[in-house]
Amino acid sequence: MLSKCDEHGYYRGESCPVCSEKGKFLMNDRELSSLSRILAGALRHFPDKLGLMMDGRGWVDISSLIEALGTSRSGFTWLRPYHIEALVDTDQRGRYQIDGGMVRATYGHTIEVTLDDLPEADLDEYFYPVTEEEAEIILEGGLHPTDRKKVHLSGSIEKAIEAGRVRTEEPLILKIDGKKTKKDDVTIYHAGKDVYVTDGIEAKYLSQVKEAEVKKILKGKHQ
C-alpha cells in the first residue's frame, strides 16, 4: 500500500514508519505493482508504445505520461502527478528521478539515452555477478553491455549476489578496482541507491572475489 503522512511524507505499508499513524491512502499493492511495471517499461524500453516524447537524457513529461496512461487500457484514469511522485519517492532501489515536472529512469535502459548528468561515483571497489561459464570470458575480455545499454555494477558483494541470483543460485562475483578506473578517467555514474553504470570496464580492472568469501555470504543469507 502507498500512502502519505501529513507530517512525514510518502510511505509504503499499513502505517507511517516514523509516527505509526495511518496516512492518506494513495494506491493499493496491486495498483502500485502494476504502475511500477508500466513506468519501468515506458521509461526504459518502449516510450513510443505510449506515444511519449523522450529527450536524449531519458526525461518524459509527467503530464503527458499521465494522459497516455489515462487513455490506454491500463485503468489509471484516476492517476495524478502526486501518485508518480509518491512512487518515485518511495522506490527502494532509487530507479527514478523527478525534476521540473519531468520523470526518468536512471538505469536499466535498452534504448539509447545519455546519462552523463548523473553524479559520478567515487567508490574504491565495485562488483559484478557472473555465472561460472561467463567468468573466464569476462576476465579476459572485459565487461561490455549485453541486453542493456550500460554495464550495471553494484557497490557491495551482497548487492551483487542479489543481482546475480536472478540468473543463478550461486553467482561468482567479479571486483572492479575503483581507484584504478578513476585514475585512468573511466567514468562510472551513481544511478540508483546501489546501482552504478558505465559504458564498459576493461579486463585490466577486473579480478574475481574468492569463492570462499562469496559462499560465506550466501551461507549467511540462508541461515
Q: Would 117 be classed as within a structural domain? A: no
Residue 13 dihedral angles phi and psi, to the nearest 5°: 130, -175
- The reply to whether 16 and 86 lie within a common domain is yes
CB hemisphere CA count around 33 (13 angstroms): 3
> How many whole angstroms separate alpha carbon 186 and alpha carbon 121?
11
- So what's the pLDDT on residue 75? 83
For residue 191, what are the contacts with CB-CB under 8 A and spacing of at least 6? 106, 107, 115, 118, 150, 152, 197
Q: How far apart are CA 124 and CA 175, in angstroms?
A: 10
Residue 190: partners with Cβ closer than 8 Å, 6 or more residues away:
118, 119, 120, 121, 196
If asked whether residues 142 and 196 sit together in one domain, one would say yes
> What pLDDT is attached to residue 222?
54
End-to-end CA distance of the chain: 29
**Domain containing residue 14:** 2-105
For residue 206, give the CATH number of its domain: 3.20.170.30
What's CA 122's distance to the chain center, in Å? 18
Q: Phi and psi dihedrals of 123, rounded to 5?
A: -95, 155
Contact 11, 4 (CB under 8 A): yes
CATH assignment at residue 50: 1.10.10.970
The grid cell for 190 is: 551513481
Which secondary structure element, helix H or strand E, spans residue 163, and what is its range?
helix 157-164
The verdict on residue 57 lying in a domain is yes
Count of Cβ atoms closer than 10 Å to residue 107 Cβ: 24
- Distance (Å, whole) CA 33 – CA 127: 28
Does 49 fall in a domain? yes
The pTM (predicted TM-score) of the whole model is 0.88
Grid cell in block for residue 102? 519531468
3-state secondary structure 193-211: CCEEEECCECHHHEEECCH
Q: What's the total number of domains in the chain? A: 2
CA 121/CA 190 separation, integer angstroms? 5
Q: What is the pLDDT at residue 221?
A: 60
Tell whether 130 and 100 lie within a shared domain: no
**pLDDT for the residue 124:** 97
What is the rounded radius of gyration, in angstroms, for the C-alpha atoms of the chain? 19
**Average pLDDT per consecutive 10 residues, the chain (223 residues; last block may be shorter):** 96 95 95 94 94 96 94 86 96 94 96 94 96 94 94 95 88 96 96 95 96 78 55
User: Does residue 136 share a domain with residue 91?
Assistant: no
Residues 173 and 98 in one domain: no
Provide the grid cell at 80: 495524478
